[in-house]
Structure 1
C-alpha cells in the first residue's frame, strides 16, 4: 500500500525502543531480532520477562447503542477500556496487548481503533470483517491503513461457519487479500472441525498467518480423540499456523479447574506440536473473569514455563507475538 515492493520490505528492518524499556527489530517475512536494553541492568537471566497479551477484549456497555458483548457476567464489569486493563496488567509485568474483537458490528472496528489510539500499551486490533461480502476488499484496505489494524477474526462465532466458508470462492479471495496485505486471521472457538478447516485454509492460502485462539480449552471426547490427534499431527508441520496457549483455566466436566498439574500434560503436548516459535500468550481478559482473575491467568502459565529455558519463555510471552501479528511501535502516539 505504501508503494514499497515485497522484496524491499523483506530486505528492510525497523528498530524501535519502546517506552517499556526493550528494543525490538521487526523484519518483513516474520524474522525477529532482539537487542538488550541500553540501560545497565542485572544479567538477562535475572531480568523479568515482559509479557505481550495477545488476547484482550474492549467494550463499553454504557454507549447509547450498547455493545453486543459486555463480559461474562457476574462481577465482571460491563465496561472494559484500555485504562481499566492497564491498571490490572502493568503490576503483572504485561507491557502491551492485542485487542481481539468481541463485536460483530462493522462500525466497532473504528470504535476500537479510536479508543486504543491514545494508549501506547495497545499494540494492535484483530477486527471483524466478513471476507465473502462484496465490500470486504474496500473495508479491509481502508482499515489496514491504520497500523493498529493487524487482522480479522473468524471461526464458529457470531453465526460464522469457517468449516463451510473454506470451500467458498469469495471467502478464499478475501483470505488471499488478507495475506497480500500481510495481515493475520484469528480463529475461534476451538473444535476438531475448526482445526480441520484451518488445515484446509492453510492448503488454499499457505502464506496467510492463522492464529488458533484458546486451544487448551478444547477437551476431545472419546468420539473425537482420534480426529483430534490426527489434525494435531498435520498442524505440527504448518509453519504459518500459530496457537494461543490461552484459556488454560477453564471448565472441565462442568467445573472450573485451576490446578496446573491437570493442565500441564496438554500444555506440554501443544508446545511440542506447534514448537517454540508458534505459541503465544493471551489472557482473554475480561472474558477470563468467568474462570479466574487476571493475576491467576498470568501466574498459571508463568508457573508452567518456570522450569523451561528462558529463550522459550521469552518466545511464548512476547517474541512470537511479533512474528504472528507484526505489530509496530507507534512513536507518534
Structure 2
C-alpha cells in the first residue's frame, strides 16, 4: 500500500485561510524572514494569452492572473520578504515579460527562466538575459513535453548547461520522478560545478521505496545537488498536516542536510491544495522540530548561497 493511500483516509481537514494565517504568524519561527524560491507569474488577459494559468482552481477563481501585486498581498503578512519566480512558459519572450513585471516590485529578487540549452540560439539568448542581475538561471526537467532523462544524452544540451555553470548560475529541475533523480546524478557527473535544485521533492511518492532510498543515499554525497522542500501538502495525497509528511521530510533532510534545502510555495500552482499561509504554517511547524539554525538556512540563508540573488529591499536579509 502506498503512503498516500494509507494516509488519505485520515480525514485531515485543511485549515481556513484566516486560521492558517493566524497560526503562521504566531509560530515560534515567525521572526525568521522567508525567501520564497518558487512562485509563478502570468497574465491570461494578454492578447496572446498564456500557456499556463495556474492550478485549475486558480485559473477558475482568479481568471489566470498572477502578478507581483497579487502575490504581495499573500506574502507580506507571512514575513516573506523576497521571492524568486520560476518561469511558467516555454515562450522565449515571456522571460523578458517576467523581468519587466518584477522590475518595479522589490519583493521579487530574481527569476529562473525557460531557455532550451540544446537549441542553436541558446548561447545568444542566455548571454542576453544573464546581463540582467535578476536572471538567476534556467529550468530544465519534465515540463512542456521535455524529458531531461533523455536530454542529458545530447552533447548540445550538456554544452548549454556548461554555459550556465560557468556563469555561476543555477539549474532548477521540474516535476520530480525516479528517472529525474537518476538524471540529476548523471548531470552532476557530467558538469560537477553546476548548481542543481530538485524541486517539489516532498511531492514524490515513489512506487519503489528501495530504489528511491538508494538514489537519495547517492545524492547525499553530492553537494551541488540541492532540494526544494516545496509541495509538502500536495494533490496526490489527501492527508494534510505535518503528521502526514514528517517521515518523508525527515528522510529528505537526512539526504540533503540543512545546507542544501530551500523553501518554496509553488504559488499559485499550489492553490486549491494549500494557501500561502497554510504552506508557511506547515513548513514552520516542521522546522520547529529542528534547530533554529536549520530553520534560518531553509527559509532564507541557503537561497542566497544557491541562487545568489541580489538584495533589492531594506528588509531582505544578507549574510
Q: Provide TM-score, normalisation by structure 2.
A: 0.86
Task: Report the 3-state secondary structure (helix = DSSP H, G, I; strand = E; otherwise coil) of the residue aligned with 1:129.
Answer: coil
Task: Report the 3-state secondary structure (helix = DSSP H, G, I; strand = E; otherwise coil) of the residue aligned with 1:96.
Answer: strand
> Of 136, 145, 155, which aligns to 2:131?
145
Distance (Å, rounded) in 1 between the aligned partners of 2:270 and 2:61: 9
Deviation at 1:229, TM superposition (A): 1.3
Q: Summarize the Cα distance change of 1:191–1:47 in structure 2 as closer, same or farther, 3 Å threshold.
A: closer
1:303 corresponds to? 285
Distance (Å, rounded) in 1 between the aligned partners of 2:136 and 2:121: 19
- Superposed CA deviations along residues 5-25 of structure 1, whole A, max 9, x for unmatched, are xxxxxxxxxxxxxxxxxxxxx
1:66 partnered with 2:49 = yes
Give RMSD over aligned pairs: 1.5
1:225 corresponds to? 209
Equivalence map 1:1-333=2 (5 Å): 48-74=31-57, 75-77=60-62, 78-221=64-207, 224-252=208-236, 255-330=237-312
- Superposed CA deviations along residues 174-229 of structure 1, whole A, max 9, x for unmatched, are 011000111110001110000000000000000000000000000011xx222211
Q: Provide TM-score, normalisation by structure 1.
A: 0.83
- Maintained 8 Å contact 2:29/2:284: no
- Maintained 8 Å contact 1:264/1:304: yes
- Superposed CA deviations along residues 224-251 of structure 1, whole A, max 9, x for unmatched, are 2222111111100110111000000013
- Maintained 8 Å contact 1:280/1:317: yes
Deviation at 1:301, TM superposition (A): 0.8
1:25 corresponds to? none
Distance (Å, rounded) in 1 between the aligned partners of 2:71 and 2:313: 21
Q: Summarize the Cα distance change of 1:48–1:142 in structure 2 as closer, same or farther, 3 Å threshold.
A: same
Distance (Å, rounded) in 1 between the aligned partners of 2:42 and 2:34: 22
Task: Report the 3-state secondary structure (helix = DSSP H, G, I; strand = E; otherwise coil) of the residue aligned with 1:190.
Answer: coil
Task: Report the 3-state secondary structure (helix = DSSP H, G, I; strand = E; otherwise coil) of the residue aligned with 1:89.
Answer: helix
Distance (Å, rounded) in 2 between the aligned partners of 1:99 and 1:46: 24
**Structure 1: 4+ residue segments shifted above 2 A:** none
- Maintained 8 Å contact 1:251/1:257: no
Structure with greater helix percent: 2
Structure with greater strand percent: 1
Task: Report the 3-state secondary structure (helix = DSSP H, G, I; strand = E; otherwise coil) of the residue aligned with 2:123.
Answer: helix
Task: Report the 3-state secondary structure (helix = DSSP H, G, I; strand = E; otherwise coil) of the residue aligned with 2:125.
Answer: helix
Deviation at 1:259, TM superposition (A): 2.3
- Maintained 8 Å contact 2:29/2:288: no
Q: Summarize the Cα distance change of 1:46–1:251 in structure 2 as closer, same or farther, 3 Å threshold.
A: closer
- Maintained 8 Å contact 1:247/1:284: yes
- Structure 1 unaligned segments of length 5 or more: list them: 1-44
Deviation at 1:85, TM superposition (A): 0.4
More RCO (CA 8 Å, sep 6+): 2
- Structure 2 unaligned segments of length 5 or more: list them: 1-27, 315-319
2:6 corresponds to? none
Q: How many residue pairs end up in the alignment?
A: 284
